[in-house]
Amino acid sequence: MAAGGGGGGEDVYATLLLTDTYLPGALVLAHSLRDAGTTKKLAALVTLDTVSAEAIAQLKSVYHYVIPVPRIQNARPANLLLMNRTDLHSAFTKINLWKQTQFRKIVYIDADVVAYRAPDELFSITHPFSAAPDIGWPDLFNTGVMVLTPNMGDYYAMMAMAERGISFDGADQGLINTHFRNNYNRISFAYNVTPSAHYQYIPAYRHFQSSINMVHFIGSEKPWFKGRHASTESSPFDEMTGRWWAVYDRHYRATSAELTPPASTQSSGVAATARPVPEFVQYLTKGEYQPKSSHVEPPTAQVQEQRDQTSRQHDSPSSGMHSQHDHQGHDAHGHEAPLSEANNRQLEPSSFVSHDVISSLSNNEDSQSKAVEEQVHAQELHIAPSEPKQQLPPFQPPTSSWDAQRHPPPVESKPEAINFPVTIYEMSKSTAPFVAPQRYPSPPKGMWYEVPKEAPAAPSEPPKPIFPWEAHRSTPSRVFIDEESKVSRHPGTTPSTESSMTETSTAEQNNEPLTPITPTIQVTMSDPWTTYSRTNAWDEVPEIERYVDSIQQNQKSRSRKSPGMIGLPSPGEGVEDGTWRRRGSKLTDFPSEVERPSLPVTPAPIHRSTFWGGGPSTVKGAIDPLLPSAEGVPGQGDWDPVAQLQKLAKQQSEELLKRLGGTGRDSSDLPPRLLPFGSEELVSPTYVTRSAQILSPQPVTGSASSSSVLSPVADFKAT
Question: What residues make contact with ligand UPG under the rule CB under 6 A?
Answer: 15-19, 21-22, 87-88, 91, 110-112, 142-144, 169, 171-173, 218-219, 346
Q: Least distance (Å) from ligand UPG to the CB of residue 216?
A: 6
User: Which of positions 125-144 make contact with Mn ion (CB under 5 A)?
Assistant: 144
- Contact of residue 642 among ligand UPG, Mn ion, none (CB under 5-8 Å per partner type): none
- Contact of residue 79 among Mn ion, ligand UPG, none (CB under 5-8 Å per partner type): none
User: Which of positions 106-125 make contact with Mn ion (CB under 5 A)?
Assistant: 110, 112
- CA distance linking residue 701 with residue 672, whole number of Å: 11
- CA distance linking residue 713 with residue 647, whole number of Å: 15
- CA distance linking residue 195 with residue 206, whole number of Å: 13
Q: Least distance (Å) from ligand UPG to the CB of residue 26?
A: 7
Question: Helix or strand or coil: residue 108?
Answer: strand
First to last CA, the chain: 100
- CA distance linking residue 129 with residue 196, whole number of Å: 26
Strand 129-133 relative to strand 185-186, pairing: parallel
- Contact of residue 111 among Mn ion, ligand UPG, none (CB under 5-8 Å per partner type): ligand UPG
Q: Mask: binding to Mn ion, 71-110, rule CB under 5 A, as x and -?
A: ---------------------------------------x
Which residue, 43 or 254, has its beta carbon nearer to Mn ion? 43
Q: Least distance (Å) from ligand UPG to the CB of residue 407?
A: 24
Q: Least distance (Å) from ligand UPG to the CB of residue 215?
A: 12
Which residue, 219 or 261, has its beta carbon nearer to Mn ion? 219
- Contact of residue 18 among Mn ion, ligand UPG, none (CB under 5-8 Å per partner type): ligand UPG
Which residue, 88 or 284, has its beta carbon nearer to ligand UPG? 88
Binding residues for Mn ion, rule CB under 5 A, total 3
Strand 113-115 relative to strand 214-216, pairing: antiparallel
Q: Least distance (Å) from ligand UPG to the CB of residue 12?
A: 15
Cα angle 9, 10, 11 (rounded to 5 degrees) comes to 135
Q: Least distance (Å) from ligand UPG to the CB of residue 187?
A: 14
Which residue, 221 or 655, has its beta carbon nearer to ligand UPG? 221
- CA distance linking residue 161 with residue 95, whole number of Å: 10
- Contact of residue 16 among ligand UPG, Mn ion, none (CB under 5-8 Å per partner type): ligand UPG
Contact yes or no for 33/13 (Cβ under 8 A)? yes
- CA distance linking residue 94 with residue 670, whole number of Å: 104
Which residue, 111 or 674, has its beta carbon nearer to ligand UPG? 111
User: Which of positions 527-586 make contact with Mn ion (CB under 5 A)?
Assistant: none
What does the longest C-alpha to C-alpha distance in the chain come to?
A: 131
Q: Least distance (Å) from ligand UPG to the CB of residue 172?
A: 5
Q: How many other C-beta atoms are found inside a 10 Å radius of the C-beta of residue 648?
A: 15
Which residue, 62 or 633, has its beta carbon nearer to ligand UPG? 62
Question: Helix or strand or coil: residue 142?
Answer: strand
Q: Least distance (Å) from ligand UPG to the CB of residue 98?
A: 15
Q: Least distance (Å) from Mn ion to the CB of residue 18?
A: 11
Question: Helix or strand or coil: residue 544?
Answer: helix
Which residue, 132 or 674, has its beta carbon nearer to ligand UPG? 132
Which residue, 144 or 278, has its beta carbon nearer to Mn ion? 144
- CA distance linking residue 456 with residue 477, whole number of Å: 31
Cα angle 21, 27, 33 (rounded to 5 degrees) comes to 145
Which residue, 349 or 637, has its beta carbon nearer to ligand UPG? 349
Q: Is 291 in the site for Mn ion (CB under 5 A)?
A: no
Contact yes or no for 333/370 (Cβ under 8 A)? yes
Contact yes or no for 399/306 (Cβ under 8 A)? no
- Local structure of residue 401 (DSSP, 8 states): -
- CA distance linking residue 424 with residue 401, whole number of Å: 30
CA distances from 184 to 98, 147, 207, 604 (A): 15, 10, 27, 82
- Contact of residue 284 among Mn ion, ligand UPG, none (CB under 5-8 Å per partner type): none
Interacting residues with Mn ion (CB under 5 A): 110, 112, 144
